[in-house]
Amino acid sequence: MTLTRDAGAGPNEPESDAEISNPLEFHVGYQLRRASAAILSRLASLLSDLKLTISEASVLVLVDDHPGITQSALGRALGIHRANMAPLAAILTERGLIERSQPGSRSIGLKTTKLGREQAMRARQCMEANEDALLPALAPDQRAALIDLLKQIWQV
Amino acid sequence: MTLTRDAGAGPNEPESDAEISNPLEFHVGYQLRRASAAILSRLASLLSDLKLTISEASVLVLVDDHPGITQSALGRALGIHRANMAPLAAILTERGLIERSQPGSRSIGLKTTKLGREQAMRARQCMEANEDALLPALAPDQRAALIDLLKQIWQV
DNA sequence: TATTGTTATACTCTATAACTATA
DNA sequence: TATAGTTATAGAGTATAACAATA
């Protein structure tokens, strides 16, 4: 790979094909997109052994923690729209991981099956493994500081 | 909205429909997903006035900074696959925002048109406005610290 | 009436595979 | 041969609108 000295040619000369200065790197938005993509793609890869997507695993774990929870409450907690919760709940039900507490009622409480509880445990292990994989990049106190900063961005 | 006192019922009682404790909130991966989604959705909304998606705007701005850059180099800088750069470049070309430096060659240098330079400037303003919107949530030194932490996560 | 669940639909982003053309 | 560009395709995630059932 050919390397020019610092950040490549200046902004007004034709580019040689080398590393390139990227002014977007100084934006929180850009860094969030790249970091989020990296960490989520690794988690997706870990969860693929369980045949679960990240959304499916998140729903499964939260239902397991809160037996009787409704789809709407799940959606509010996870930031997933009502309309997108329906097929998500349907898939987990089809696979025998969750079931409906009161089959007759309209507002449906969800809970995990025995198989679902086992899978939820394995999903939690994947999520913890994904967090642990951050340790080479982030010391524990940095990790805590990062969580605090991120919370401030999206929470009201 | 009905509020129970702290984090709702314990993990083994049926849920009342209230706020819910979410153990995922202690995960960097989860916080990254929520923060990234929030900030990117706001940016998408700002850019929609220019009829640009976030990917389109990122490519446009980078081409404007690096006239003569190839699609592959763009993709490497932005983390976008070669296969997905093709339609992206095609759209920007159709709209008269970028053009090909050497129409005969195979490795195609891209540069912005006059219209493209104007739009790139407006896109940069949207990105800056999006960054400024973070100020209520993050003090300037927190913002710098956050960028440093995020870089460590996805960069080698 | 407000909330819940559902269906249909569309858009954005990402990923792989297979192919052609070029250096 | 390695790189660049293209096309087709598929899978995730997210968004809105419209509807029926329920509290």
Q: Which two tokens stand for residue B41?
A: 């959705």
CATH number at residue A78: 1.10.10.10
Summarised one tens digit per residue, pLDDT across range A13-37 is 455 555 789 999 999 999 999 999 9
Q: Which two tokens stand for residue B135?
A: 């100020």
Q: Which nucleotides of C are covered by protein (CB under 7 A)?
A: 3-9, 11-18, 21-23
Beta bridge partner(s), residue B111 = B99
Helix, strand, or coil (residue A102): coil
- Across the interface, do A146 and B14 touch by the CB < 8 Å criterion? no
* Cα distance between residue A138 and residue A146, in whole Å: 9
One-letter amino acid of B79? G
Total count of domains within chain A: 1
Residue A38 lies in a domain: no
Cβ A37 vs Cβ A47: under 8 Å: no
- Across the interface, do B154 and A38 touch by the CB < 8 Å criterion? yes
Summarised one tens digit per residue, pLDDT across range B5-29 is 333 334 444 555 557 899 999 999 9
Residue A22 lies in a domain: no
Supply the range of the domain harboring residue B86. 48-154
Nucleotide nearest to A37 (CA to C1'): C14
B5 vs B142: which has the higher pLDDT: B142
| Residue B38 confidence (pLDDT) | 96
User: Is the pLDDT confidence value at B36 over 90?
Assistant: yes
Considering only CA atoms, name the residue closest to the C1' of nucleotide D4.
B107
Which of B's residues 93-152 have CB atoms within 7 A of nucleic strand C?
105-107
Residue A102 lies in a domain: yes
Residue B80 lies in a domain: yes
| Residue A75 confidence (pLDDT) | 96
Residue B105 lies in a domain: yes
* Cα distance between residue B66 and residue B78, in whole Å: 13
| Residue B103 confidence (pLDDT) | 59
Long-range residue pairs from A96-101, CB within 8 A, at least 24 positions apart, any chain? A97/A60, A98/A60, A98/A63, A101/A67, A101/A68, A101/B14
Nucleotide nearest to B33 (CA to C1'): D13
Residue B68 lies in a domain: yes
Q: How far is the CA of A80 from the C1' of D14 (A)?
A: 8
Counting one residue from chain A and one from chain B, the pairs whose CB atoms sit within 8 A come to: 204
Residue A39 lies in a domain: no
Residue B7 lies in a domain: no
- Across the interface, do A22 and B147 touch by the CB < 8 Å criterion? no
Summarised one tens digit per residue, pLDDT across range B78-98 is 999 999 999 999 999 999 999
Low-confidence ranges of chain A (pLDDT < 50): 1-13
Instruction: Compute how many other C-beta atoms are within 10 angstroms of the C-beta atom of residue A135.
Output: 11
